[in-house]
Structure 1
Amino acid sequence: METLSNLESFVRSAESASFSAAARRLALTPAAVSRNVAQLERNLGVRLFQRTTRGLTLTEAGERFLNSVGPGLDGIQGAIAEVTAKAGEPAGVLKVSMAPGFGRKCVLPLMPAFMARYPAVTLDVNMDNHRVDLVAGGFDAAIGGGFELAPGVVARELMPVHGVAVASPAYLEGRGAPATPADLAAFDAIVMRSPQSGRIKPWEMRNRRGDTMPADLRARVVLNDPDGICGAALMGMGVALLATTDLESHLETGALRRVLPDWYVDIGVISLYFTSQKLMPAKTRAFVDFVTAAFRERR
C-alpha cells in the first residue's frame, strides 16, 4: 500500500506542475518530493509524469490516477487538519501577499491586534502589485483583486473598490471643470497599463443614477503602477483614475481634488484568497477569520 507522503507528493506536484513548488507547500526538499514520486511510479509500474526542463506534465496514466486519488487524499488531509487545528493554537510562519498601497493603508493597521491575539504566529508579508500563485509561491493567503481561482483556491470578499478621477489643484487651475466623462478629452490623462495584458485600461464610468459612459482619454503619461500614477497626479501631470482606498489622505489635505465628483469606476472587488478550507492550518484559518471579521465590522 502506498504511503500518504508518496501520494501527497504526487498530487501536489501535479497541481503545481513543479517538484519545487510542491516541496514549498509540503515543507520538504525538492529532492525528497522527486524521490517520493519516483518510488510511487516504481510501485505502480507506470510513469506518471513527463519530466522536461520546463517542468512536469502528467502522462495519460498520471491524469487518470490524479482523478482517482485526488479527492480521497483531500478528504484524508481534511480530517487530519481538522483534528490538529482544534487541538493546537495557531502557530508558525504565515506567508501573505498583498498590494503595497492597500496593504499599508488597510491591512497592516489590523496586524498589531492579530499578532497580540496569536503570539505564536510569525507574519511574513510580501508586498507586490502583481498577482501571485498561492501554490507555486508557497503563500498561505493573498489579498487583492482579480485573482484566478485555480483548483483548490477559494476567495472571501472583503470590499468593493471604486475608482475616481483626480488631479492636483495646480493642474486644474485655469481649466474648466468637465461635466461628463466625454469632456476629459480636453485634459491630459495619466493612465494605467495592465501588468498582465500590457494594454491600457479604459475608464467605463457611471454616475449615481446608474448611467454609464466611457471616458474619452488623451493619454499623456502611461504607468503600470498605482503608486506611480498617484505620484504623477500629485506632480500636476494630468488627471488620473485612482482607487478611493489610495486617496483618503490626499483628498483630506487638498493635494488632490475630485474631477467629475458625480462619476466613478467600478474597479472590482478586493478579496482574501487561500487554499481549500478543508486543508487550512490553524494559523491560516485564524488570519482569514480575523481579517474578514475586521472588514465586515468596518463596512
Structure 2
Amino acid sequence: MDLSQRVRAILSFVQAADAGSFAAAGRVLGITSAAVSKNVASLEKALGVRLMNRTTRTLNLTEEGGAFLRQARVALDALDSAIDTVAAQRVVPSGRVRISTSWAFGREQLMPVLPALLSRYPSLSVAVDFDDRVVDLVRDGYDIGIRGGNIPDSALVSRLVFRLNLVLVASPEYLVHHGVPQTPRELRAHRVIARRFLGGQVAPWSFKMEDGSTTTFDPADAAVLTLSAPESVVQAACDSVGIAQVGVHLAWKHLCSGALKVVLRRYHEPGNYEMVMQYPHRALMAPRVRATLDHLLESFAKDKDLHVPLEALDAYVA
C-alpha cells in the first residue's frame, strides 16, 4: 500500500470502529460501505492480521484491532495537533525568520524597524546576516533577501522597496579647494572616489549631454581612493577626499546637513537601479514570513530617506 492508500484505510478502520458499521462509516467519510470494507480489508492484508470480526449486524474488534486502534488514534491526534499549530500561527505568527541583506542597508534601514516587528509579534525571532555578496536564498536557507542594483530575472518573487537613484556628491571644503566641475569632461582633473563591487568591477558613471548623446566616465582611471562599502564611499566624500557617486538614500541626510553638495546634476544619469525584497515562494507562505514582509514593506514605505524625488536634489547643487 502506498502512503495515500494507507491513510485512507486507517481512516476507514477508525471510523468504522467508532460508528459500529461500514455503512455508518461510509456516510461520515462520504464513500460507500463497500469502499470502507475494501479499505479495511486492504489494511488487514497489509498488516497480516484480522482487525475486525464482521457479522451482518455488528463489527467487533479483535485484540490486534483494539491495539491498532489505540495507536491509530495517537497518530491522528498528532496530525490534528500539527494542523491546529499551523492554523494558530496564522493568527499569531511565531518562529524564526532568516534575512540576508547588505551591511549598509541593514544598519541604516533594516535595524531601526526590527524592534517594532518583534514588539508586534512577541513569538517571532529574526536572524539577520549582513553580507554584500549575492546569496542563494533557497540553498542557504533564507526566508527573505534584501538586495539592490540591477536585479536579474529569477525564480524568486521580488517586491520593490524603492528606486535606487544615484547622485554625484562632494564636500563644500573639497569644492572650495578644487573647484566645481561644470561638465563631465572636467572630472579628469578632479580627485575621484570609486566604488568597487564584489566581482572586482568599478561601474562607470553615466551622463546625458546637451545634444542628447550619452557619455560615460570610468572613475577607476582617476580614483585616488577605491572602496567596496557604499557607506565608506559616502564617508570619504564627507571627509573631502573627492567626488563620489552614491545612492541618494545614503547621501540625503548629509545633503540636508550641508556636509555634501550635488555636482553635475544637469548631466548625471541616476541609473535604473532598485532595492527589492526577494523570497522563494508566493503561495502557502508561512505566517511568520508573511508578517515580516508586510511589516518591512510598510515601514520602508514610510522612510522618507528612501523616496527622495530627484527634483529635490536641485536645492543642494553646488
Per the TM superposition, whether the score is higher than 0.5 is yes
Question: 1:148-196 deviations in whole A, cap 9, x for unaligned?
Answer: 4543x21011110111111222322233321222221211111112212
Match of 2:271 in 1: 266
1:266 is matched by which residue type in structure 2? G
Give, in whole Å, the separation in 2 of the partners of 1:147 and 1:111: 25
Aligned pairs for 1:161-200 (under 5 A) are: 161-196=164-199, 198-200=200-202
- TM-score scaled to structure 2, two decimals? 0.61
Equivalent residues of 1:243, 1:267 under 8 A apart: no
Q: Which has the larger radius of gyration?
A: 2
| 1:248 partnered with 2:248 | no
Give, in whole Å, the separation in 2 of the partners of 1:144 and 1:184: 30
Measure how far apart 1:270 and its partner are: 0.3
Match of 1:156 in 2: 159
2:170 is matched by which residue type in structure 1? A
Equivalent residues of 2:158, 2:277 under 8 A apart: yes
Question: 1:193-224 deviations in whole A, cap 9, x for unaligned?
Answer: 2212x121101135899874423642222222
1:253 is matched by which residue type in structure 2? S
1:278 counterpart SS class: coil
Aligned with 1:112 (options 112, 115, 127): 115
Size of the alignment, in residue pairs? 221
Aligned pairs for 1:204-215 (under 5 A) are: 204-206=206-208, 212-215=214-217
Match of 1:124 in 2: 127
Identity of aligned residues (%): 31
Relative to structure 1, is the Cα distance of residues 85 and 291 closer, same or farther in structure 2, using a 3 angstrom cutoff?
farther
Aligned pairs for 1:1-299 (under 5 A) are: 84=87, 87-145=90-148, 146-151=150-155, 153-196=156-199, 198-206=200-208, 212-215=214-217, 217=219, 218-262=222-266, 263-266=268-271, 268-297=273-302
Relative to structure 1, is the Cα distance of residues 154 and 2 closer, same or farther in structure 2, using a 3 angstrom cutoff?
farther
Question: 1:71-99 deviations in whole A, cap 9, x for unaligned?
Answer: xxxxxxxxx9xx74874521111111112
1:222 is matched by which residue type in structure 2? T
Give, in whole Å, the separation in 2 of the partners of 1:234 and 1:2: 68
Greater share of strand: 1
Alignment RMSD, CA only? 3.0
Give, in whole Å, the separation in 2 of the partners of 1:126 and 1:210: 43
2:240 is matched by which residue type in structure 1? G
1:114 is matched by which residue type in structure 2? L
Question: 1:117-150 deviations in whole A, cap 9, x for unaligned?
Answer: 2111111111122222111221110111245454
Equivalent residues of 1:99, 1:144 under 8 A apart: yes
2:197 counterpart SS class: coil
Equivalent residues of 2:96, 2:126 under 8 A apart: yes
Relative to structure 1, is the Cα distance of residues 87 and 270 closer, same or farther in structure 2, using a 3 angstrom cutoff?
closer
Give, in whole Å, the separation in 1 of the partners of 2:270 and 2:288: 36
Measure how far apart 1:248 and its partner are: 2.3
1:229 is matched by which residue type in structure 2? V
Give, in whole Å, the separation in 2 of the partners of 1:213 and 1:85: 58
1:265 counterpart SS class: coil
| Higher relative contact order, chain-length normalized (CA < 8 Å, sep 6+) | 1
1:143 counterpart SS class: strand
Equivalent residues of 2:193, 2:224 under 8 A apart: yes
1:107 is matched by which residue type in structure 2? L
Match of 1:23 in 2: none
Give, in whole Å, the separation in 1 of the partners of 2:249 and 2:214: 22
